[in-house]
Amino acid sequence: MHTYRLLAAALVSGAALMAAPAAHAADYPNKPITLVVPFPAGSGTDAVGRIFGQELSAILGQTIVVENKPGANATIAAAYVARAKPDGYTLFVTTNTSHSAAPWLMKNVPYDPVKDFTPIARGGNLPFILVVNPKRPWKNVGELVADAKKNPGRITYASGNSTGIVAGATLADRAKIDILHVPYKGTPQGLTDVVGGQVDFMFTDLASGLPFVQSGQLRALAVSTAERSAIVPDLPSMAEAGVKDFDLNSWNGYFGPAGLPPEVVAKLNAAINQVVAKPEVKKRLAGLGFDAFSSTPEAFAQFVSEQRDLWGKLIKDAGIEQQ
């Protein structure tokens, strides 16, 4: 009889434990959510993440706290999220930097971009543009390339993320020029030095670079994609500018740690899709140079896997060695 009671108690206890995550997911969220950004305040991902955070807060009925953890090609933030409790209260808004490029750019990345995260939804794309200091003589990419060929190793380019690193190296490879890379911890710092004339040019996301172009502090020469961007239709593609086989884009998306409950993933995915469906939000994001759209978690997971392989090829083709 005593044994039976112990067994019954154990079964009840086990059932309660199994029901706990489901009950927790059902009332999610019931406290503030932290949204980790892997780049500094003022970067494109930060600006976009804060808009999404405001909208998600209104939809979910909880405060979204944006926390910046920049550095090391976004791997500091990614490792932090990968180690977080998978309860939906630590989320990650990131780009191809942490999930597509860093594993190929760095020898020791402290996480697996596929196994250590739960894909939630795409957020959209951050198109990149090539910008130069307006005091430099180049009015187009062809003039920059010609000058670089006359002065090997003397023209400098800044980078604040992996897209900037790979774009500069790809330009050097495709155009057969020798240019000097100057890495920065984040895009805002790099842009500051291009504006100040300490560095000659930079590939930057539209969200960060467009205000400087509009104010005349920088001159934009081209977009980094194979086709022109609807956001800046007057800018030529790199192919139109004379650099063939050049197509780089920065994607944006939302993750949780591995093991996020399906109910939480579904609720967050629905909320993100609701955000990008708002015309006024899409217009506001487009004003920042961000092309907003979303996806299912399954489609996003497949995309992340494909992008990891694609960026591995881009980095190998550009001749970039792991650091």
Q: Give CA separation, 84 vs 16, 46, 257, 309, in Å.
A: 24, 20, 6, 26
Judged by average pLDDT, the poorest of 12-16, 29-33, 110-114, 160-164 is 12-16
The answer to whether residue 274 scores a pLDDT higher than 90 is yes
Do domains 33-126+249-318 and 128-241 share one topology? The answer is yes
Cis peptide before 233 (omega within 30 of 0): no
pLDDT in tens, 205-256: 988 999 999 999 999 999 998 888 888 899 999 999 999 889 888 899 999 9
What value does the mean pLDDT take over residues 113-118? 96
Give CA–CA dist 304/309, Å, rounded.
9
Highest CATH level, class, for 33-126+249-318 = alpha beta
Fold of the domain built from segment(s) 128-241? D-Maltodextrin-Binding Protein; domain 2 (3.40.190)
Res 169 pLDDT > 70: yes
> What would the pLDDT profile of 37-62 be if each residue is shown by its tens digit?
999 998 889 999 999 999 999 999 99
Mean of per-residue pLDDT scores for the chain: 91
Query: How many Å apart are CA 289 and CA 48, to the nearest integer?
Result: 10
Query: What pTM, to 2 d.p., does this model score?
Result: 0.81
* Domain-wise residue ranges, the chain: 33-126+249-318, 128-241
d(CA 244, CA 160): 24
